[in-house]
Structure 1
C-alpha cells in the first residue's frame, strides 16, 4: 500500500496573504505575535497582562486592553490568530483602518473585559484569569451572524427552523464541552458585545465619518501608509449590507440543498486561554 502524503501549506501563498493584509489587521497580528514571543523570555508577562477580576483597580486598568494580546502556549496562539485574522480583515475592509484601531485598542477590549470582571467579581465571586484573542473572535463572529441573519434569517434542519444569529452561541457551547480550560463566561461576554455592535446599539463608539475624513485629509494617510483603508474605501459602508426584503431560509437535510448565506462567515477554529480562550 502506498504511503499517504500530506501537502504542506505553501509558504509563498501564506507570505503573499500576509503582505496583502490591511494595516490595522497586520498591526494587531504583529502585536499579538510580539506579546507571545516576549512571554517566552518573560514568563511573568502573562500574569502582568492577564484579566484577573480581583486585581482590577485604577492602576491596573491596562489589563482590560492587554488580555486579548497574550496567549499561553503555541497552540493557543495559532488557533486564535488563524481564526481572528480573516474576521478582522473583513471588519477593517468594511469600517476602515482608523475605526478598527480605535475599537480594538479601546471599547472592544474594555467592554467584554469589564463585563467579565463585573460578573466574575460581584455576581459569581470568582477570580479566573483571562487571556487570549478568542474574545475578539466571538465578538466578530456574532457581528457577522447578525449580518447573515438580516439576509438569511433561518436555516432549517429537518423540521427545525433555527435562527442564523444563534450559530456563534452553538459554537461557544461546543468549545466549552470539548476543550478543557475554556471560559464559557468569557466567550459569552465577547459575544454580547458583538451582538450589540451588529444590532447597531454601540455604533456611536466609532468616530464619525466627517472626523475620519478630516484626519485622513490633513495627514494624507492614504498616500503615506501602505494598505491603509480610508473611510471612502470601505467595502459596505459604516452600517454594513442593507437587509434583504426576501425572507431567506436555508434548508439542511436529506435531499435538500446545501447551506449558503450571503455575507456570512463560516465559524473557523477558535482559540482560548486560561480563561476566555482555549
Structure 2
C-alpha cells in the first residue's frame, strides 16, 4: 500500500496498471530464465526443481521505481540503518532474506532487475508514451475509470523511459556503480570501526576533560546567539540550573 500509492501518484493510474501487468509476466520470465541458466551452465538443479508463488517480486519492481523517483535521497531499512534511495531495494532484498530465509530470493531479485530495466528505459517498447496515455484518458470508454475518486491522471512526464540516461547499458553501468560505491562505504565503515577516524578528524574531541561546572560554564558562554531567540531564551538558565543541582 505504501509503495503502490506513492508510485501511482507519480506515474498515473494507467501506467501503474501497465507496470504491474508487465511486471507479473516479466518477473516470472526472468525467474525461469535465471533458473535455466544456472542449470545449463553450472548444473545447479535446486532452482529448477523448486517452485514459488506470490506477488512480492512485483512489489520489489515497484520498490525500485518508487525509490528512484522519490525526492528523498536516503531510506531507512526497518529503522535499523539508512541507505541511499537507489540502494534501498537491494538492502531490503538482503534484510528480508536474513529475517525470512525460506522466501524466494530469486523471485525478489527478478523484480529488482525488471524495475531497474524499466526505470532506465530498457523496456520502453512495452510501454506507451505519456502523450498517448493522456489521449486515451479523454476517451468515453474510460469515463467510469476517470470518475473514481482515487484515479490519478497520467502526468506530462513519469520520470521513466530512461529520462535520466536510459537504455540497458545505462542500467548496467548505474547498477555496477552503485555496487562499487556500497563496497567502498562498507570498507570505510570497517576501517573507522577498527582504526578510528584518525587524529585530524578527532581533533575536535577533548580527551580527559570531565563534564563539570567549568565545562558547563564554557558551554553556557557559547550560546550568545541562542539568547536572541525568544524560544531559546531560557536555555542558558536551564543549563546553569542543571549544573548547580548536579
TM-score for the superposition, normalised by structure 1: 0.46
Picking from 165, 173, 181, the partner of 2:94 is 173
| Distance in 2 (alpha carbons) for counterparts of 1:95 and 1:154 | 20
Q: Is the 8 A contact 1:120 1:127 kept in 2?
A: no
Q: Is the 8 A contact 1:146 1:165 kept in 2?
A: yes
Q: Which residue of 2 aligns with 1:227?
A: 150
Q: Please list every run of 5 or more consecutive structure 2 residues that lacks an aligned counterpart in the other structure.
A: 40-44, 77-82, 165-184, 193-246
Q: Is the 8 A contact 1:112 1:190 kept in 2?
A: yes
Moved over 6 A (4+): none
SS in 2 for 1:213: helix
SS in 2 for 1:190: helix
| Distance in 1 (alpha carbons) for counterparts of 2:69 and 2:152 | 21
Picking from 120, 124, 127, the partner of 1:199 is 120
Give 1:165 deviation, angstroms. Answer: 2.0
Q: Which residue of 2 aligns with 1:6?
A: none
Q: Which residue of 2 aligns with 1:113?
A: 28
| Distance in 2 (alpha carbons) for counterparts of 1:108 and 1:225 | 24
SS in 2 for 1:102: helix
Q: Please list every run of 5 or more consecutive structure 1 residues that lacks an aligned counterpart in the other structure.
A: 1-84, 156-161, 244-250, 254-278
Q: How does 1:127-276 map to 2 (within 5 A)?
A: 127-147=49-69, 152=73, 164-219=85-140, 221=143, 224-231=147-154, 234=155, 237-239=157-159
Q: Is the 8 A contact 2:7 2:66 kept in 1?
A: no
Q: Deviations over 1:42-92 (max 9, x none)?
A: xxxxxxxxxxxxxxxxxxxxxxxxxxxxxxxxxxxxxxxxxxx11111221
Give 1:229 deviation, angstroms. Answer: 1.4
Give 1:179 deviation, angstroms. Answer: 0.8
More helix by share: 2
Aligned residues: 151
Q: Is the 8 A contact 1:154 1:163 kept in 2?
A: yes
Give 1:192 deviation, angstroms. Answer: 0.8
- Describe the shift of the 1:88–1:204 C-alpha distance in structure 2 as closer, same or farther (beyond 3 A): farther
Q: Deviations over 1:160-202 (max 9, x none)?
A: xx75422221221122222132111111111111112222322
| Distance in 2 (alpha carbons) for counterparts of 1:238 and 1:204 | 16
Is 139-148 or 181-190 further displaced after alignment? 139-148
| Distance in 1 (alpha carbons) for counterparts of 2:147 and 2:75 | 44
Give 1:144 deviation, angstroms. Answer: 3.0
- Describe the shift of the 1:118–1:135 C-alpha distance in structure 2 as closer, same or farther (beyond 3 A): same
SS in 2 for 1:193: helix
Q: Deviations over 1:102-140 (max 9, x none)?
A: 2212x1111111010112234233232121221122112
TM-score for the superposition, normalised by structure 2: 0.51
| Distance in 1 (alpha carbons) for counterparts of 2:119 and 2:74 | 14
